[in-house]
Amino acid sequence: MAGAGHGGPPAPVPAPRPRPGDLAPLLPADPSGIAGYRLLGRLGAGGMGVVYLGRTDAGELAAVKVTLADRAERADFRARFRREVEAARRVVSPWAVPVLGADPDAPEPWLATAFVPGPSLGEAIAAHGPLPGRSLRVLGGAVARALAAVHAAGLVHRDVKPGNVLLAVDGPRLIDFGIARAADPGGETALTGTDMVVGTPGFLAPEQAEARTGDIGPASDVFAFGCLLAHAATGRPPFGTGAVDALMYRTVHDEPDLVGVPAGLLPLLRDCLAKDPAARPTAEQLAARLVVDTPGTAADWLPDPVVRTIAERSARMLALPDIDATTAGTPAPPPATGRRRFLLLAAGAGVVAAGGAGWWALRGRDDRTDGKGAPPPKARRWTIGVQADLSGPGKEVGQAQERGVRLAVEAFNSRADKPFTLDVKVSDDRGDKTRALAAARALTADPDVLGIIGPSHDYTGQEALPAYDEALLPVVTVSAGLNLLVNPVQKQGRSVLQACPIHAFNGMHIAYHAQAVHRPSRPGLLQERTDDPYSWQFVLGAKFGFQQGGILPHPRVIPSGAKQLERVVGEMVDAGIDAYVHAGLLPSAVRAAKALDALGFTGPRYAGQHVLGDRFLRDAGRSAEGWTVGAPAADPTGRKEAAAFLAAHRARYGAAAPVWYAGEAYDVTLFLAQQVAKEYGKAGRRPDRTALAPVLRKAVHQGVMGGYSFDENGNLKGVGTFLHRVEDGRYRTLGAAPAAPTKKAGG
């Protein structure tokens, strides 16, 4: 959890906009390219920066937002820009604008998003009036699904308004995550003051209008969604227009003006516009209520005048000539001959709007030509990939690992002697096995990705193995302990390095600790079959560890879903167990803790890595006291070697300690980066990424969290399990688990 801070950034200053659809020419001082994007003109400019229309060598258009130099020097502004990038990357939906690239940590931070020359909903209504019934349902269904994706990523958009919805022939797109924030109201107060109203008056929820920070959440976006849909249906905002304070007052106290809304939409809009956030439906529920055939690639969901507007803007984009490189302060040379290649499926790829709360910019780097009017060759990137669950059930661990990777890349890039500069590319698999292979291929298919940190979960890692084995680039995981991720017999995981013990070893080392400290004679082992591969591997290792000390454990198994858990735990206590080892997931561990507490059991209690985290402390309450959890994650706050890492984490993410696995991800990222640098130094050129895994398996690295070395198959050598005991409602780290059993039980 991030610590609370004070104050926040100034309210965003909207950038002045050109006439809708116009593209302003580049100024002599503008760069000709930024980060591989050739710039064609200006989409918007203002006090915070410039947004350019850019084009890749393949003809893909993008809106490239760049900050002003004086803004980039401010830590709060840079943090806000970084937050926008991270928020936009976490939202995966066909109805939300995709991020094509970004570097919030560059000297001149930039963000590129897909571009489509469609009007905003606000522009369309102002020019052509309210939308008809089917248009409203398609609009509402798509925007509701986009918001559902925003909320699933743990975010609140906070500025859902007509200017932030773009219209394309295949459906609308939600844009601009400049003021999006975590759904946890206590998580980002350092960036948003508790007394600051953020958003657009007239499209704010009552809790936003009154700056009730603790009440702002996904339901606030639902209220704004209701305002947006009412505006689209009637051509006017539901709480009128006028002075800001009057708008705020009416939003909080008055009923919305819904005259002219189609009868079929009235119940839904009244539900969305309830004053009480708890009375509003969720975005997913809205999407279900707005089921309608999607537009596909046809434009018949939009009125003809809006379709003509899209066609006219598309034609203007197609007419753009090639733009040659310019140098600041000098005229641009004549355009080169030939037409650019431009692939535009009538606004189907994604959207972006010039103007609004998040449009900032600055001068980009000066890209020079070879003197003959031809653009310079596109520079190769040196990129570290991250595959993790960033928005699913394991997002806490996945997001912690992404933070560790980014901090390590910052540390590497800050070196004066660095031979190259690293970038980070993230692929969110949401913890979903069905998405894992595609998430992996999004990284392995990028020739600039030299290695991958992740995946963060066992089964997404297993499903991604075909992509890893095909690409043969190094993949280093710090939390996926499934033994099948490295399988030399079946020739799987040939480039995977597990910087964590497999689950069987985790259970074995926990059993060694129990013998060394508590000396049980009849330990109980409970296997939960909800996550059977994890549970049985953990039990197998624990059983072996006890048997090494001459101890015969008392094993029991419960069905999937932890049915009959309390009864089975009671039977184990009645059978005389003097220690309890839980081989299962967090929910069943909470129930087991409460059952043992109710039974008065005072013996030692153990669990594996799936239980580690604050949720166990919170959900089990006082019943968590005395439990020892073993996991491949150490506590950096107790390590003097991690002081610089902790300071960097605090500076970027807040005062709270890093979440588990952030430090380990930091270590292995620097391990990978340093080995790539060594190979570069040997050959004087970019190393072949398919040859890096064997090099890493032979290398030894001392990180801030400990040492790392691997066998020839990519398995971590040594223990790798750290023990954390719950005392007074928090974890106290005991250190690494023993590497071997005691010689004699009880001795």
Q: Which residues are catalytic?
A: 159
Q: What is the full DSSP assignment across 369-407?
A: --SSSPPPPPPPPEEEEEEE-SSSTTHHHHHHHHHHHHH
- Angle between helix 133-152 and helix 218-234 axes, rounded to 10 deg: 170
* Three-state DSSP string of 75-129: HHHHHHHHHHHHHHHHCCCCCECCEEEEECCCCCCEEEEECCCCCEHHHHHHHHC
Strand extents, DSSP E, 605-688? 605-607, 627-631
Closest CA to 189 of 2, 403, 12, 13: 2
Phi, psi (deg, nearest 5) at residue 609: -65, -25
- d(C-alpha 316, C-alpha 299), whole Å: 19
Residue type, 109: P
* Helix (H), strand (E) at residue 133: helix 133-152
Positive or negative CA dihedral for 457, 463, 467, 468?
A: positive
State both tokens at 169: 């022939």
Q: Write down how long the chain is.
A: 747
Q: Which two tokens stand for residue 695?
A: 């090099």
CA distances from 474 to 494, 661, 710, 722 (A): 9, 19, 13, 25
Alpha carbon distance 377, 362 (integer Å): 23
Whether the link from the prior residue into 553 is cis, omega within 30° of 0, is no
Q: Which residue has the tokens 């990519």?
A: 714
Q: Which residues, in sequence order, are CB contacts of 86 under 8 Å at separation 6+? A: none
Residue 591 region by backbone torsions, left for phi larger than 0, else alpha for psi between -120 and 50, else beta: alpha
